[in-house]
Homo-oligomer: A and B are copies of this chain.
């Protein structure tokens, strides 16, 4: 039996490299075909437009991010959170351009791409609820606070990529502390 990576999958991995280093606008269909060493015709067979290709790459990046940050059920909740955050910031570090593209725009970021990112955020709300809050029902305020905390992690990631002024472990401390404070703060309601 052959164990070859299917061509569609291989094209997406090439796309991760390309969009990980240059923006949507900077990359042409010719660049993609050249990097994959296939004809434009064959590329169009798999992805009718550059945007279809981009959306598939973003979808792959989103799945990869979720997979790499999967909480480890063997750890206690605080360490489980810290370990996922460490994996998150490591992903941000290794795929900086793709991560920024995902969050910040570029021509390719339309409703379809925004929906992929919304789905990632909803997965994180779910995970936090199950793994860190141990499945206790969330109050409306806690639900808003968790959404806010995810925004906090994204915004610190972007600021960190732009400024690189603290190290990754300090960033991880900050996000872990923010979670404890915001969710403790979030439970002060009547």
A158 at interface by CB-CB < 8 Å: yes
| Nearest residue, chain B, Cβ from A158 | B147
Q: Select one of B104, B141, B153 contacting A174, CB under 8 A.
A: B141
Q: Are A150 and B155 in contact (CB under 8 A)?
A: yes
Contact of A159 among B114, B147, B155 (CB under 8 A): B147
Q: Tell me if A181 and B174 are in contact (CB < 8 A).
A: no
Cβ of B166 and Cβ of A140 under 8 Å apart? yes
Q: Is A84 an interface residue when CB atoms closer than 8 A count as contact?
A: no
- Chain A, residues 158-171, CB within 8 Å of chain B (1/0): the string is 11100101100011
Measured CA separation A109–B181 after assembly (Å) = 33
A25 adjacent to chain B (CB < 8 Å): yes
Across the interface, do B143 and A163 meet the contact criterion of CB distance under 8 Å?
yes
User: B residues within 8 A CB of A143?
Assistant: 159, 163, 165
Q: A150-B155, A152-B182, A177-B185 are in contact. List 13 more A-B contacts (CB 8 A).
A: A25-B111, A105-B110, A106-B114, A109-B109, A140-B163, A140-B165, A144-B163, A144-B166, A144-B174, A145-B178, A148-B159, A152-B155, A181-B182
Listed by A's residue number, 15 A-B pairs whose Cβ atoms lie within 8 Å are A105-B105, A105-B109, A105-B110, A105-B111, A105-B113, A140-B166, A143-B159, A144-B160, A145-B174, A145-B178, A147-B159, A150-B155, A154-B155, A170-B189, A181-B181
